[in-house]
Amino acid sequence: MADEFMFTLTGTDGAARTGEIRMPRGVIRTPAFMPVGTAGTVKAMYPDQVKVLGADVVLGNTYHLMLRPGAERVARLGGLHAFMNWPYPILTDSGGFQVMSLAGLRKIEESGVTFQSHIDGSRHVLTPERSIEIQGLLGSDIQMQLDECVKLPASEEVVAKAMHLSLRWAERCRIAFGEQPGKAMFGIVQGGDVPHLRVESARELVGLDLKGYGIGGLAVGEPQHVMLSMIESVEPHLPREKPRYLMGVGTPDDIVEAVRRGVDMFDCVMPTRAGRHGMAYTRAGRLNLKNARYAEDLSPLDPESTCPASNGYSRAYLHHLVRANEILAMMLLTWNNLAYYQDLMAGLRKAIREERLEDFIAQTKEGWEKGERERKAG
């Protein structure tokens, strides 16, 4: 394994890229989907299952872990890797998105954010420096700057104010992070749905010479075409030799389209959350196992998948588990969904290396559309 953080491109196809992030704890193959382990666990999954599916890195959440069990406690217990039995790379977000979503429970100032815990109402202060300190105590390998994320739609004035505050916080985070061999801190491009603000944010962050760059503040209420146009605005201004991370995104279609536009990393709660609510992602699109049409359907979720949850149980059985509110339903559907997401990423990486990405995307979307036509007809 590499002693330093290194990103190497191994193939391109148009704007799309495939490559490797090498770190002391392992190699992250890109494009990469990072399962979300909010509170130190990918919900309804064992850590070894997550790894076997093809995940090279998981995401931990600064906000939730600082509140429970506490960053200092995690540090005393050996750090997040040992705590959750995941010896591979971990990326932690800064806590900014969760804090900003608290609306009536927080106050934003130049120094940072004061907020009340959603758990017990206790008061906390999260500054750029404290966010980096917490992520360091957790022992994460890739740390994100604290930023202000604005829910869209919003006025250009509101978006600009948040973007400039995020830039100032990025500089403070960079200083607080300092030099940590083998680890990385990423900045976050903000600017809402205003192209010139996105470009300004990207250019200023690149001037800080960070190890990677997140694209934040998207998938927060805007249509897909707006999200994609913001990626297109930003991509030419981000260094080719550094990874790009579209934060909190998203659906399989969102991921495919963002990869097409040069994005390298993704995270989203969607596959795990959907699995807990009776939804399955497959090569034939998304299936709602609550639907009575599956009550006597003996076919598996996805016969082409190598995942036992996808090919080893009938849709009828899964429908029964969902309707009976059995825990096994959540486990199997989450397992299936993460398998599908990781298979999708592996397919994208292979297609980019072989310079046949457009064919792969067309075949993938045809599978979704064919499945949807059959469900409507049936």
95 is in an annotated binding site: yes
Write the single-letter amino acid at 173: C
Residue 103: per-residue pLDDT: 60
pLDDT at residue number 298: 98
- Structure confidence at residue 101 (pLDDT): 75
Q: Please report the sign of the dihedral spanned by the C-alpha atoms of residue 232, residue 236, residue 240, residue 242.
A: negative
> Each residue of 261-317: pLDDT tens digit?
999 999 999 999 999 999 999 999 999 999 999 999 999 999 999 999 999 999 999
- pLDDT class for 178, splitting at 50, 70, 90? very high
Residues linked to residue 90 through DSSP beta bridges, in sequence order: 58
The answer to whether 177 is annotated as binding is no
240 residue type, one letter: R
What mean pLDDT do residues 230-243 have? 98
Vertex 69: Cα angle to 67 and 70 (nearest 5): 60
Distance CA 251, CA 368 (A): 12
> Is 262 annotated for ligand binding?
no
Q: What is the pLDDT of residues 117-126, one digit of tens each?
A: 888 989 999 9
The amino acid sitting at 305 is S
Indicate the residue type of 246: L
pLDDT at 106 over 90: no
Question: Residue 104: which pLDDT band, with cuts at 50, 70 and 90?
Answer: low
Q: At residue 1, does pLDDT exceed 70? A: no
The pLDDT value given to residue 317: 98
**Among all residues, which ones are annotated catalytic?**
93, 267
pLDDT of residue 51: 98
pLDDT at 74 over 80: yes
Q: How far apart are CA 318 and CA 73, in angstroms?
A: 39
Rounded to two decimals, the pTM is 0.97
Looking at residue 378, what is its pLDDT? 77
% of the chain beyond a pLDDT of 90: 90
Whether 227 contacts 202, CB under 8 Å: no
Residue pair 15/261 in contact (Cβ under 8 Å)? The answer is yes
pLDDT of residue 8: 98
How many helical (H) and strand (E) elements, i.e. helices and strands, does the chain have? Answer: 15, 16
Q: Is 98 annotated as a binding residue?
A: no
Mean pLDDT of 175-196: 97
Q: Is 54 annotated as a binding-site member?
A: no
- Residue 292: how many CA atoms within 13 Å on its side-chain side? 0
- pLDDT attached to residue 118: 86
DSSP state letter for 150: P
> What is the reported pLDDT for 95?
82
Q: How far apart are CA 20 and CA 345, in angstroms?
A: 13
CA separation (Å) from 148 to 84, 97, 177? 29, 7, 19
Portion of the chain with pLDDT greater than 70, in percent: 99
Domain architecture of the chain: domains with CATH: 8-237 (3.20.20.105), 275-377 (no CATH)
Angle between helices 224-234 and 195-206 (to 10 degrees): 40
Question: Is 190 annotated to bind ligand?
Answer: yes
